[in-house]
Structure 1
Amino acid sequence: MNNTTKGVLFALFATMLWSVNMVIASGLKGHIPPVGLAFWRWTLAYIVLAPFAIKSTIKSFKIVKKHIRYLCITAVLGITIFNTLIYFAGKTTSAVNLSLIAISIPLFIVVLSRIIFKEKVSNIKIVGIATIITGVLVLISKGSLQAILHINFTIGDLLMLVACFFFAYYTILVRQKPEELTTKVFLFSVFFIGTIVLLPFYMYEHIYYQKVIFDTKTVLVTAYVGICASLISYYLWNEAIRLIGTSKTALIYYLIPVFSGILAYFFLNQAILPTQIISMAIIISGLFISNKN
Protein backbone atom coordinates (compact mmCIF):
# COMPACT_ATOMS: atom_id res chain seq x y z
CA MET A 1 0.00 0.00 0.00
CA ASN A 2 1.55 3.33 -1.05
CA ASN A 3 1.57 6.44 1.13
CA THR A 4 -1.23 8.16 -0.80
CA THR A 5 -3.63 5.25 -0.39
CA LYS A 6 -2.68 4.88 3.26
CA GLY A 7 -3.13 8.61 3.89
CA VAL A 8 -6.57 8.66 2.26
CA LEU A 9 -7.70 5.63 4.29
CA PHE A 10 -6.42 7.21 7.52
CA ALA A 11 -8.30 10.45 6.79
CA LEU A 12 -11.46 8.52 5.85
CA PHE A 13 -11.39 6.49 9.06
CA ALA A 14 -10.76 9.58 11.20
CA THR A 15 -13.68 11.33 9.51
CA MET A 16 -15.92 8.32 10.09
CA LEU A 17 -15.05 8.29 13.80
CA TRP A 18 -15.93 11.99 14.07
CA SER A 19 -19.19 11.27 12.23
CA VAL A 20 -20.15 8.68 14.86
CA ASN A 21 -19.28 11.28 17.48
CA MET A 22 -21.78 13.70 15.91
CA VAL A 23 -24.50 11.05 15.80
CA ILE A 24 -24.21 10.08 19.48
CA ALA A 25 -23.91 13.74 20.46
CA SER A 26 -27.39 14.42 19.05
CA GLY A 27 -28.98 13.09 22.24
CA LEU A 28 -26.42 14.59 24.61
CA LYS A 29 -27.35 18.28 24.71
CA GLY A 30 -27.62 19.48 28.29
CA HIS A 31 -26.62 16.12 29.79
CA ILE A 32 -22.93 16.93 30.19
CA PRO A 33 -21.59 20.51 30.55
CA PRO A 34 -19.31 21.58 27.67
CA VAL A 35 -16.04 22.14 29.53
CA GLY A 36 -16.62 19.02 31.62
CA LEU A 37 -17.07 16.87 28.52
CA ALA A 38 -13.97 18.37 26.90
CA PHE A 39 -11.88 17.93 30.06
CA TRP A 40 -12.80 14.28 30.67
CA ARG A 41 -12.55 13.49 26.97
CA TRP A 42 -8.91 14.52 26.81
CA THR A 43 -8.07 13.19 30.26
CA LEU A 44 -9.22 9.74 29.16
CA ALA A 45 -7.33 10.01 25.86
CA TYR A 46 -4.18 10.95 27.80
CA ILE A 47 -4.57 8.06 30.27
CA VAL A 48 -5.14 5.48 27.52
CA LEU A 49 -2.13 6.73 25.54
CA ALA A 50 0.17 6.92 28.59
CA PRO A 51 1.32 3.25 28.74
CA PHE A 52 2.39 3.44 25.08
CA ALA A 53 4.00 6.89 25.09
CA ILE A 54 5.25 7.84 28.55
CA LYS A 55 8.67 6.12 28.24
CA SER A 56 9.31 7.59 24.80
CA THR A 57 8.25 11.04 26.04
CA ILE A 58 10.62 10.86 29.04
CA LYS A 59 13.49 9.83 26.74
CA SER A 60 12.59 12.67 24.39
CA PHE A 61 12.20 15.26 27.17
CA LYS A 62 14.97 17.48 25.79
CA ILE A 63 13.28 17.48 22.37
CA VAL A 64 9.91 18.23 23.95
CA LYS A 65 11.45 21.08 25.94
CA LYS A 66 13.12 22.41 22.79
CA HIS A 67 9.77 22.61 20.98
CA ILE A 68 7.60 23.50 23.99
CA ARG A 69 6.32 26.75 22.46
CA TYR A 70 5.16 24.95 19.33
CA LEU A 71 3.56 22.18 21.41
CA CYS A 72 1.75 24.66 23.66
CA ILE A 73 0.25 26.61 20.74
CA THR A 74 -0.81 23.39 18.99
CA ALA A 75 -2.32 21.97 22.19
CA VAL A 76 -4.30 25.09 23.05
CA LEU A 77 -5.74 25.42 19.54
CA GLY A 78 -6.46 21.76 18.75
CA ILE A 79 -7.15 20.32 22.20
CA THR A 80 -8.20 23.05 24.65
CA ILE A 81 -10.19 25.40 22.43
CA PHE A 82 -11.53 23.56 19.36
CA ASN A 83 -13.82 20.90 20.85
CA THR A 84 -14.79 23.04 23.84
CA LEU A 85 -16.06 25.79 21.52
CA ILE A 86 -18.08 23.23 19.55
CA TYR A 87 -19.75 22.01 22.75
CA PHE A 88 -20.58 25.62 23.70
CA ALA A 89 -21.82 26.35 20.17
CA GLY A 90 -24.16 23.36 20.30
CA LYS A 91 -25.97 24.89 23.29
CA THR A 92 -27.17 27.95 21.37
CA THR A 93 -27.43 26.96 17.71
CA SER A 94 -28.98 24.29 15.55
CA ALA A 95 -27.41 21.23 13.93
CA VAL A 96 -28.22 22.74 10.52
CA ASN A 97 -26.20 25.85 11.31
CA LEU A 98 -23.29 23.79 12.68
CA SER A 99 -23.24 21.70 9.49
CA LEU A 100 -23.27 24.82 7.35
CA ILE A 101 -20.43 26.49 9.25
CA ALA A 102 -18.37 23.27 9.34
CA ILE A 103 -17.93 23.74 5.57
CA SER A 104 -15.41 26.44 6.43
CA ILE A 105 -12.83 24.04 7.95
CA PRO A 106 -11.45 22.63 4.67
CA LEU A 107 -11.70 26.08 3.07
CA PHE A 108 -9.67 27.62 5.90
CA ILE A 109 -7.10 24.82 5.52
CA VAL A 110 -6.79 25.30 1.74
CA VAL A 111 -6.40 29.08 2.15
CA LEU A 112 -3.85 28.76 4.99
CA SER A 113 -1.91 26.13 3.02
CA ARG A 114 -1.80 28.55 0.11
CA ILE A 115 -0.53 31.38 2.33
CA ILE A 116 1.95 29.42 4.46
CA PHE A 117 3.15 26.63 2.17
CA LYS A 118 2.45 28.32 -1.19
CA GLU A 119 0.38 25.31 -2.25
CA LYS A 120 -1.18 25.95 -5.63
CA VAL A 121 -4.96 25.87 -5.86
CA SER A 122 -5.64 24.65 -9.40
CA ASN A 123 -8.78 25.46 -11.35
CA ILE A 124 -9.88 21.82 -11.15
CA LYS A 125 -9.54 21.92 -7.34
CA ILE A 126 -11.64 25.10 -7.19
CA VAL A 127 -14.33 23.38 -9.29
CA GLY A 128 -14.17 20.35 -6.99
CA ILE A 129 -14.50 22.46 -3.83
CA ALA A 130 -17.43 24.37 -5.33
CA THR A 131 -19.08 21.03 -6.19
CA ILE A 132 -18.56 19.73 -2.64
CA ILE A 133 -20.01 22.90 -1.08
CA THR A 134 -23.03 22.61 -3.38
CA GLY A 135 -23.56 19.05 -2.19
CA VAL A 136 -23.33 20.05 1.47
CA LEU A 137 -25.77 22.91 0.94
CA VAL A 138 -28.23 20.54 -0.76
CA LEU A 139 -27.86 18.15 2.19
CA ILE A 140 -28.48 20.63 5.00
CA SER A 141 -31.24 22.55 3.16
CA LYS A 142 -33.02 19.41 1.87
CA GLY A 143 -32.94 20.98 -1.57
CA SER A 144 -34.79 24.15 -0.50
CA LEU A 145 -33.24 27.53 -1.26
CA GLN A 146 -35.66 29.12 1.21
CA ALA A 147 -34.16 27.02 4.02
CA ILE A 148 -30.73 28.57 3.34
CA LEU A 149 -32.11 32.11 3.01
CA HIS A 150 -34.04 31.93 6.28
CA ILE A 151 -31.32 30.55 8.56
CA ASN A 152 -30.98 32.64 11.72
CA PHE A 153 -27.49 32.98 13.16
CA THR A 154 -26.67 33.14 16.89
CA ILE A 155 -23.63 33.54 19.13
CA GLY A 156 -23.18 29.76 18.82
CA ASP A 157 -22.62 30.17 15.09
CA LEU A 158 -19.82 32.65 15.72
CA LEU A 159 -18.26 30.26 18.23
CA MET A 160 -18.45 27.44 15.68
CA LEU A 161 -16.80 29.60 13.02
CA VAL A 162 -13.95 30.45 15.40
CA ALA A 163 -13.63 26.75 16.30
CA CYS A 164 -13.38 25.84 12.61
CA PHE A 165 -10.56 28.34 12.08
CA PHE A 166 -8.66 26.99 15.10
CA PHE A 167 -8.96 23.40 13.86
CA ALA A 168 -7.75 24.49 10.42
CA TYR A 169 -4.75 26.21 11.98
CA TYR A 170 -4.12 23.14 14.17
CA THR A 171 -4.03 21.05 10.97
CA ILE A 172 -1.49 23.47 9.47
CA LEU A 173 0.65 23.27 12.63
CA VAL A 174 0.61 19.46 12.51
CA ARG A 175 2.20 19.63 9.07
CA GLN A 176 5.00 21.72 10.60
CA LYS A 177 5.67 19.13 13.31
CA PRO A 178 9.44 18.71 13.82
CA GLU A 179 10.62 15.32 12.50
CA GLU A 180 12.44 14.59 15.74
CA LEU A 181 9.07 14.51 17.54
CA THR A 182 7.48 11.10 16.97
CA THR A 183 3.70 10.96 16.54
CA LYS A 184 3.01 9.36 19.93
CA VAL A 185 5.31 11.78 21.79
CA PHE A 186 3.65 14.69 19.98
CA LEU A 187 0.12 13.48 20.82
CA PHE A 188 1.02 12.64 24.43
CA SER A 189 2.50 16.11 24.89
CA VAL A 190 -0.38 18.07 23.34
CA PHE A 191 -3.00 15.95 25.14
CA PHE A 192 -1.27 16.69 28.46
CA ILE A 193 -0.79 20.41 27.83
CA GLY A 194 -4.29 20.88 26.41
CA THR A 195 -5.91 19.10 29.37
CA ILE A 196 -3.88 21.04 31.95
CA VAL A 197 -4.98 24.33 30.36
CA LEU A 198 -8.60 23.11 30.51
CA LEU A 199 -8.38 22.22 34.22
CA PRO A 200 -9.03 25.67 35.79
CA PHE A 201 -11.98 26.26 33.44
CA TYR A 202 -13.38 22.84 34.33
CA MET A 203 -13.04 23.58 38.05
CA TYR A 204 -14.84 26.91 37.61
CA GLU A 205 -17.68 25.27 35.67
CA HIS A 206 -17.87 22.43 38.21
CA ILE A 207 -18.15 24.80 41.20
CA TYR A 208 -20.34 27.60 39.83
CA TYR A 209 -22.41 26.14 36.97
CA GLN A 210 -22.94 22.41 36.44
CA LYS A 211 -21.26 19.28 37.71
CA VAL A 212 -20.57 16.22 35.58
CA ILE A 213 -22.81 13.36 36.69
CA PHE A 214 -21.05 10.06 35.97
CA ASP A 215 -24.04 7.94 35.06
CA THR A 216 -23.99 5.15 32.44
CA LYS A 217 -24.69 7.54 29.56
CA THR A 218 -21.90 9.91 30.57
CA VAL A 219 -19.37 7.10 30.98
CA LEU A 220 -20.18 5.49 27.62
CA VAL A 221 -20.14 8.79 25.73
CA THR A 222 -16.92 9.95 27.39
CA ALA A 223 -15.29 6.59 26.63
CA TYR A 224 -16.16 6.90 22.95
CA VAL A 225 -15.13 10.54 22.49
CA GLY A 226 -12.02 10.05 24.61
CA ILE A 227 -10.69 6.95 22.85
CA CYS A 228 -12.21 6.86 19.35
CA ALA A 229 -13.04 10.50 18.56
CA SER A 230 -9.89 11.83 20.26
CA LEU A 231 -6.96 9.43 20.54
CA ILE A 232 -7.52 7.25 17.46
CA SER A 233 -9.00 9.90 15.17
CA TYR A 234 -6.34 12.53 15.97
CA TYR A 235 -3.57 9.98 15.40
CA LEU A 236 -5.05 8.99 12.01
CA TRP A 237 -5.71 12.61 11.00
CA ASN A 238 -2.16 13.66 11.88
CA GLU A 239 -0.68 10.72 9.96
CA ALA A 240 -2.89 11.51 6.95
CA ILE A 241 -1.55 15.08 6.94
CA ARG A 242 2.00 13.73 6.98
CA LEU A 243 1.33 11.30 4.12
CA ILE A 244 -0.87 13.27 1.70
CA GLY A 245 -0.63 16.90 2.81
CA THR A 246 -3.06 19.33 4.40
CA SER A 247 -5.28 20.18 1.42
CA LYS A 248 -6.13 16.60 0.37
CA THR A 249 -6.70 15.57 3.97
CA ALA A 250 -8.96 18.58 4.53
CA LEU A 251 -11.19 17.77 1.57
CA ILE A 252 -12.01 14.33 3.01
CA TYR A 253 -13.52 16.13 6.03
CA TYR A 254 -16.46 17.00 3.77
CA LEU A 255 -17.57 13.35 4.01
CA ILE A 256 -18.69 13.87 7.62
CA PRO A 257 -22.30 14.73 6.65
CA VAL A 258 -22.35 11.72 4.31
CA PHE A 259 -21.16 9.33 7.03
CA SER A 260 -23.43 10.98 9.63
CA GLY A 261 -26.49 10.54 7.41
CA ILE A 262 -25.76 6.85 6.82
CA LEU A 263 -25.03 6.19 10.51
CA ALA A 264 -28.16 8.05 11.61
CA TYR A 265 -30.19 5.82 9.27
CA PHE A 266 -28.85 2.60 10.81
CA PHE A 267 -28.60 3.62 14.48
CA LEU A 268 -31.22 6.35 14.95
CA ASN A 269 -33.81 5.09 12.44
CA GLN A 270 -33.69 8.41 10.60
CA ALA A 271 -34.91 8.09 7.00
CA ILE A 272 -32.53 8.88 4.14
CA LEU A 273 -34.31 11.36 1.86
CA PRO A 274 -33.84 11.57 -1.94
CA THR A 275 -32.15 14.96 -1.49
CA GLN A 276 -29.64 13.34 0.89
CA ILE A 277 -28.76 10.68 -1.69
CA ILE A 278 -28.32 13.38 -4.34
CA SER A 279 -26.16 15.50 -2.03
CA MET A 280 -23.97 12.51 -1.12
CA ALA A 281 -23.40 11.81 -4.82
CA ILE A 282 -22.50 15.49 -5.41
CA ILE A 283 -20.07 15.57 -2.47
CA ILE A 284 -18.31 12.36 -3.54
CA SER A 285 -18.11 13.63 -7.15
CA GLY A 286 -16.54 16.85 -5.88
CA LEU A 287 -13.93 14.87 -3.94
CA PHE A 288 -12.95 12.94 -7.07
CA ILE A 289 -12.71 16.17 -9.08
CA SER A 290 -10.63 17.92 -6.38
CA ASN A 291 -8.10 15.09 -6.20
CA LYS A 292 -7.44 14.94 -9.93
CA ASN A 293 -3.96 16.06 -10.82
Structure 2
Amino acid sequence: MLPVYLIPYVLIGTFLYSVTKDGLEYASPPVFMEMRYLLSGIILFAITRKIIINKDIFLLSLFTSTSTALWSYGLLYVPPSESAVLSYTMPLFAIPISFLVLRETPKVNEIAGIVVGFIGVLVYASSLTVSVIGGTLTVINAIFWALFSVYYRKLRDYDHLVVNSSQFLLGSVFFLLLIPFNYRLDLSTRFLLDFSYSTFLGGLVMFLLWNLMLSVEKVNKVVVLIFSIPVFSTLFDYFRGVIEVTPAVVGGMGIILSGLFISELGKERKRLGIQAKRK
Protein backbone atom coordinates (compact mmCIF):
# COMPACT_ATOMS: atom_id res chain seq x y z
CA MET A 1 0.00 0.00 0.00
CA LEU A 2 2.87 2.40 0.79
CA PRO A 3 4.10 2.72 -2.86
CA VAL A 4 0.58 3.78 -3.89
CA TYR A 5 0.99 6.87 -1.70
CA LEU A 6 4.76 7.31 -2.06
CA ILE A 7 5.07 7.50 -5.86
CA PRO A 8 2.59 10.38 -6.40
CA TYR A 9 4.00 12.12 -3.31
CA VAL A 10 7.51 12.10 -4.76
CA LEU A 11 6.35 13.16 -8.23
CA ILE A 12 4.35 16.11 -6.89
CA GLY A 13 7.05 17.08 -4.39
CA THR A 14 9.72 17.21 -7.10
CA PHE A 15 8.12 20.28 -8.68
CA LEU A 16 6.54 21.84 -5.58
CA TYR A 17 9.61 23.82 -4.51
CA SER A 18 10.07 25.51 -7.90
CA VAL A 19 6.37 26.24 -8.39
CA THR A 20 5.93 27.67 -4.89
CA LYS A 21 9.03 29.86 -5.14
CA ASP A 22 7.69 31.26 -8.41
CA GLY A 23 4.30 31.90 -6.78
CA LEU A 24 5.97 33.81 -3.95
CA GLU A 25 7.09 36.38 -6.53
CA TYR A 26 3.44 37.48 -6.68
CA ALA A 27 2.29 37.06 -3.06
CA SER A 28 3.89 37.35 0.36
CA PRO A 29 4.27 34.07 2.29
CA PRO A 30 1.40 34.77 4.75
CA VAL A 31 -1.02 35.67 1.94
CA PHE A 32 0.00 32.74 -0.24
CA MET A 33 -0.20 30.20 2.58
CA GLU A 34 -3.39 31.66 4.08
CA MET A 35 -5.15 31.19 0.74
CA ARG A 36 -3.58 27.74 0.33
CA TYR A 37 -4.61 26.49 3.77
CA LEU A 38 -8.06 28.07 3.79
CA LEU A 39 -9.06 26.74 0.37
CA SER A 40 -7.75 23.24 1.16
CA GLY A 41 -9.58 23.27 4.49
CA ILE A 42 -12.87 24.40 2.92
CA ILE A 43 -12.68 21.67 0.27
CA LEU A 44 -12.04 18.93 2.82
CA PHE A 45 -14.65 20.29 5.23
CA ALA A 46 -17.21 20.23 2.39
CA ILE A 47 -16.50 16.50 2.14
CA THR A 48 -16.29 15.60 5.83
CA ARG A 49 -18.69 18.17 7.35
CA LYS A 50 -16.65 17.80 10.50
CA ILE A 51 -13.58 19.16 12.23
CA ILE A 52 -11.85 18.12 15.44
CA ILE A 53 -10.36 20.53 17.93
CA ASN A 54 -8.36 19.00 20.76
CA LYS A 55 -4.83 19.29 22.14
CA ASP A 56 -3.21 16.96 19.61
CA ILE A 57 -4.97 18.52 16.61
CA PHE A 58 -4.04 21.98 17.86
CA LEU A 59 -0.37 20.98 18.21
CA LEU A 60 -0.45 19.32 14.79
CA SER A 61 -1.83 22.51 13.26
CA LEU A 62 0.71 24.66 15.08
CA PHE A 63 3.63 22.49 13.95
CA THR A 64 2.34 22.29 10.37
CA SER A 65 1.68 26.00 9.90
CA THR A 66 4.99 26.93 11.56
CA SER A 67 6.85 24.55 9.26
CA THR A 68 5.07 25.98 6.22
CA ALA A 69 5.78 29.57 7.26
CA LEU A 70 9.48 28.91 7.82
CA TRP A 71 9.75 26.96 4.55
CA SER A 72 8.05 29.68 2.51
CA TYR A 73 10.15 32.48 3.99
CA GLY A 74 13.27 30.37 3.44
CA LEU A 75 12.32 30.00 -0.22
CA LEU A 76 12.63 33.76 -0.61
CA TYR A 77 16.38 33.43 -0.01
CA VAL A 78 17.44 30.07 -1.54
CA PRO A 79 16.86 28.27 -4.86
CA PRO A 80 14.19 25.52 -4.90
CA SER A 81 16.62 22.59 -5.07
CA GLU A 82 18.67 23.97 -2.17
CA SER A 83 15.48 24.41 -0.15
CA ALA A 84 14.61 20.78 -0.88
CA VAL A 85 18.04 19.54 0.21
CA LEU A 86 18.04 21.54 3.45
CA SER A 87 14.44 20.54 4.20
CA TYR A 88 15.42 16.89 3.97
CA THR A 89 17.52 17.13 7.08
CA MET A 90 14.09 16.34 8.56
CA PRO A 91 14.61 12.54 8.89
CA LEU A 92 17.50 13.10 11.30
CA PHE A 93 15.16 15.01 13.65
CA ALA A 94 12.29 12.57 13.16
CA ILE A 95 14.16 9.62 14.71
CA PRO A 96 14.52 10.98 18.28
CA ILE A 97 11.15 12.75 18.19
CA SER A 98 9.28 9.59 17.14
CA PHE A 99 11.04 7.66 19.90
CA LEU A 100 10.19 10.24 22.56
CA VAL A 101 6.56 10.74 21.51
CA LEU A 102 5.58 7.36 20.07
CA ARG A 103 8.20 5.03 21.54
CA GLU A 104 8.94 3.76 18.03
CA THR A 105 12.35 2.10 18.00
CA PRO A 106 14.04 2.37 14.61
CA LYS A 107 15.64 -0.68 12.99
CA VAL A 108 19.36 -0.75 12.29
CA ASN A 109 18.88 -0.47 8.52
CA GLU A 110 16.53 2.50 8.96
CA ILE A 111 19.04 4.35 11.15
CA ALA A 112 21.86 3.51 8.74
CA GLY A 113 19.78 4.65 5.76
CA ILE A 114 18.91 7.97 7.40
CA VAL A 115 22.50 8.63 8.51
CA VAL A 116 23.90 7.81 5.06
CA GLY A 117 21.20 9.94 3.42
CA PHE A 118 22.01 12.81 5.77
CA ILE A 119 25.71 12.52 4.93
CA GLY A 120 24.66 12.81 1.29
CA VAL A 121 22.76 15.99 2.14
CA LEU A 122 25.87 17.41 3.83
CA VAL A 123 28.09 16.53 0.86
CA TYR A 124 25.58 18.15 -1.49
CA ALA A 125 25.27 21.23 0.73
CA SER A 126 29.07 21.64 0.92
CA SER A 127 29.04 22.89 -2.68
CA LEU A 128 26.36 25.51 -2.03
CA THR A 129 26.67 29.15 -1.12
CA VAL A 130 23.54 29.32 0.97
CA SER A 131 22.03 32.45 2.47
CA VAL A 132 22.44 32.27 6.25
CA ILE A 133 18.88 33.51 6.78
CA GLY A 134 17.37 31.21 4.16
CA GLY A 135 19.37 28.19 5.30
CA THR A 136 18.51 28.73 8.97
CA LEU A 137 14.78 29.16 8.29
CA THR A 138 14.72 26.04 6.11
CA VAL A 139 16.51 23.81 8.61
CA ILE A 140 14.25 24.97 11.47
CA ASN A 141 11.33 24.20 9.15
CA ALA A 142 12.68 20.64 8.95
CA ILE A 143 12.41 20.30 12.74
CA PHE A 144 8.75 21.32 12.69
CA TRP A 145 8.15 19.02 9.71
CA ALA A 146 9.50 16.15 11.81
CA LEU A 147 7.21 17.19 14.66
CA PHE A 148 4.02 17.25 12.61
CA SER A 149 5.01 13.98 10.90
CA VAL A 150 5.19 12.30 14.29
CA TYR A 151 1.79 13.76 15.20
CA TYR A 152 0.27 12.42 11.99
CA ARG A 153 1.46 9.00 13.13
CA LYS A 154 0.09 9.61 16.63
CA LEU A 155 -3.33 10.48 15.16
CA ARG A 156 -3.37 7.55 12.71
CA ASP A 157 -6.61 6.13 14.14
CA TYR A 158 -8.53 9.33 13.33
CA ASP A 159 -10.30 9.92 10.03
CA HIS A 160 -7.54 11.26 7.77
CA LEU A 161 -9.77 13.69 5.92
CA VAL A 162 -11.09 15.14 9.18
CA VAL A 163 -7.56 15.51 10.57
CA ASN A 164 -6.41 17.34 7.46
CA SER A 165 -9.47 19.57 7.22
CA SER A 166 -9.04 20.54 10.89
CA GLN A 167 -5.32 21.14 10.42
CA PHE A 168 -5.82 23.36 7.37
CA LEU A 169 -8.61 25.45 8.89
CA LEU A 170 -6.79 26.01 12.18
CA GLY A 171 -3.57 26.74 10.30
CA SER A 172 -5.34 29.33 8.16
CA VAL A 173 -6.08 31.32 11.34
CA PHE A 174 -2.36 31.40 12.09
CA PHE A 175 -1.53 32.84 8.66
CA LEU A 176 -4.44 35.27 8.85
CA LEU A 177 -2.84 36.81 11.94
CA LEU A 178 0.42 37.33 10.02
CA ILE A 179 -1.07 39.02 6.95
CA PRO A 180 -1.23 42.57 8.44
CA PHE A 181 2.55 42.43 8.94
CA ASN A 182 3.36 41.30 5.39
CA TYR A 183 0.69 41.81 2.75
CA ARG A 184 1.44 41.53 -0.95
CA LEU A 185 -0.73 40.05 -3.72
CA ASP A 186 -0.68 40.23 -7.50
CA LEU A 187 -3.47 38.10 -8.99
CA SER A 188 -1.72 37.46 -12.30
CA THR A 189 -2.29 34.40 -14.48
CA ARG A 190 1.14 33.08 -13.52
CA PHE A 191 0.31 33.38 -9.84
CA LEU A 192 -2.99 31.54 -10.26
CA LEU A 193 -1.23 28.66 -12.04
CA ASP A 194 1.47 28.43 -9.36
CA PHE A 195 -1.09 28.75 -6.59
CA SER A 196 -3.31 26.03 -8.07
CA TYR A 197 -0.45 23.52 -8.20
CA SER A 198 0.86 24.43 -4.76
CA THR A 199 -2.62 24.28 -3.21
CA PHE A 200 -4.40 21.36 -4.84
CA LEU A 201 -1.46 19.03 -5.53
CA GLY A 202 1.31 20.38 -3.31
CA GLY A 203 -1.00 21.16 -0.43
CA LEU A 204 -4.23 19.23 -0.22
CA VAL A 205 -3.04 16.05 -1.98
CA MET A 206 0.52 15.94 -0.59
CA PHE A 207 -0.52 16.53 3.02
CA LEU A 208 -3.17 13.83 2.72
CA LEU A 209 -0.70 11.38 1.12
CA TRP A 210 1.84 12.11 3.86
CA ASN A 211 -0.81 11.51 6.52
CA LEU A 212 -1.83 8.23 4.85
CA MET A 213 1.77 7.01 4.58
CA LEU A 214 2.38 7.68 8.25
CA SER A 215 -0.79 5.80 9.15
CA VAL A 216 0.47 2.56 7.57
CA GLU A 217 4.21 2.72 8.34
CA LYS A 218 6.43 3.88 11.19
CA VAL A 219 7.87 7.37 11.02
CA ASN A 220 11.45 6.10 10.67
CA LYS A 221 10.48 3.96 7.69
CA VAL A 222 8.60 6.65 5.80
CA VAL A 223 10.93 9.61 6.26
CA VAL A 224 13.95 7.91 4.69
CA LEU A 225 12.02 6.97 1.54
CA ILE A 226 11.40 10.59 0.56
CA PHE A 227 15.11 11.40 0.29
CA SER A 228 14.54 10.96 -3.44
CA ILE A 229 12.70 14.31 -3.70
CA PRO A 230 15.78 16.56 -3.35
CA VAL A 231 17.53 14.41 -5.96
CA PHE A 232 14.74 14.86 -8.51
CA SER A 233 14.29 18.52 -7.56
CA THR A 234 17.98 19.11 -8.24
CA LEU A 235 17.75 17.47 -11.66
CA PHE A 236 14.71 19.62 -12.46
CA ASP A 237 16.56 22.81 -11.49
CA TYR A 238 19.60 21.71 -13.49
CA PHE A 239 17.60 21.20 -16.68
CA ARG A 240 15.99 24.62 -16.14
CA GLY A 241 19.43 26.17 -15.82
CA VAL A 242 18.78 27.37 -12.26
CA ILE A 243 21.79 25.60 -10.73
CA GLU A 244 25.12 24.13 -11.79
CA VAL A 245 25.69 20.46 -11.03
CA THR A 246 29.13 20.12 -9.44
CA PRO A 247 30.99 16.91 -8.44
CA ALA A 248 29.87 17.49 -4.83
CA VAL A 249 26.23 17.68 -5.96
CA VAL A 250 26.56 14.45 -7.97
CA GLY A 251 28.37 12.72 -5.11
CA GLY A 252 25.79 13.93 -2.60
CA MET A 253 22.91 12.66 -4.70
CA GLY A 254 24.64 9.29 -5.08
CA ILE A 255 25.09 8.99 -1.32
CA ILE A 256 21.45 9.99 -0.73
CA LEU A 257 20.28 7.23 -3.08
CA SER A 258 22.61 4.80 -1.28
CA GLY A 259 20.83 5.69 1.95
CA LEU A 260 17.52 4.79 0.32
CA PHE A 261 18.95 1.44 -0.78
CA ILE A 262 20.35 0.67 2.67
CA SER A 263 17.01 1.46 4.33
CA GLU A 264 15.35 -1.16 2.13
CA LEU A 265 17.88 -3.94 2.85
CA GLY A 266 16.10 -5.18 5.96
CA LYS A 267 12.79 -5.35 4.12
CA GLU A 268 14.37 -7.31 1.26
CA ARG A 269 16.09 -9.77 3.60
CA LYS A 270 12.81 -10.33 5.45
CA ARG A 271 11.02 -10.98 2.15
CA LEU A 272 13.67 -13.47 1.01
CA GLY A 273 13.55 -15.20 4.39
CA ILE A 274 9.77 -15.65 4.14
CA GLN A 275 10.11 -17.07 0.63
CA ALA A 276 12.81 -19.49 1.79
CA LYS A 277 10.58 -20.78 4.60
CA ARG A 278 7.74 -21.37 2.16
CA LYS A 279 10.01 -23.49 -0.03
After TM superposition, the score normalised by the length of structure 2 is 0.83
Shift in CA distance, 95/216, structure 1 to aligned 2, threshold 3 Å: closer
Q: Is the aligned partner of 1:88 residue 2:73?
A: yes
Q: State the distance in 2 between where 1:76 and 1:124 align.
A: 32
Conserved 8 A contact 1:106-1:253: no
The correspondence of residues 160-199 of structure 1 with structure 2, limited to 5 A, is 160-177=138-155, 179=157, 181-199=158-176
Alignment of 1:112-123 (within 5 A): 112-123=97-108
Q: 1:131 aligns with which of 113, 116, 128?
A: 116
2:111 is aligned with 1:98 = no
Q: Distance in 1 between matches of 2:80 and 2:234?
A: 13
Matched, 1:73 2:59: yes
Deviation, structure 1 residue 73: 1.3
Q: Output the TM-score relative to the length of structure 1.
A: 0.79
Distance of 1:257 and 1:119 partners within structure 2: 26
Cα 1:27/1:223, change in 2 over 3 Å? closer
Q: 1:177 to 1:279 in 2, by over 3 A?
A: same
Q: Which residue of 1 aligns with 2:213?
A: 240
Q: Give the stretch that moved more between structures: 85-94 or 219-228.
A: 85-94
Q: Which runs of 5+ in 1 are unaligned?
A: 1-5, 142-146
One-letter amino acid of the counterpart of residue 30, structure 2:
V
* Percent pairwise identity: 20
CA RMSD of aligned residues (A): 2.7
In the TM superposition, residue 26 of structure 1 has moved relative to its aligned partner by 4.4
1:212 counterpart = 2:190: no
Deviation at 1:153, TM superposition (A): 5.5
Residues 107 and 35 of structure 1, relative CA distance in 2, 3 Å threshold: same
Aligned to 1:3: none
Q: 2:218 is matched by which residue type in structure 1?
A: G
In 2: Cα distance, 1:190 partner to 1:257 partner: 26
Q: Report the Cα distance in structure 2 between the residues aligned to 1:264 and 1:160, rounded to whole angstroms.
A: 18
Q: Structure 2 regions of 5+ residues with no counterpart?
A: 267-279
Q: Does the 8 Å contact 2:23/2:195 carry over to 1?
A: no
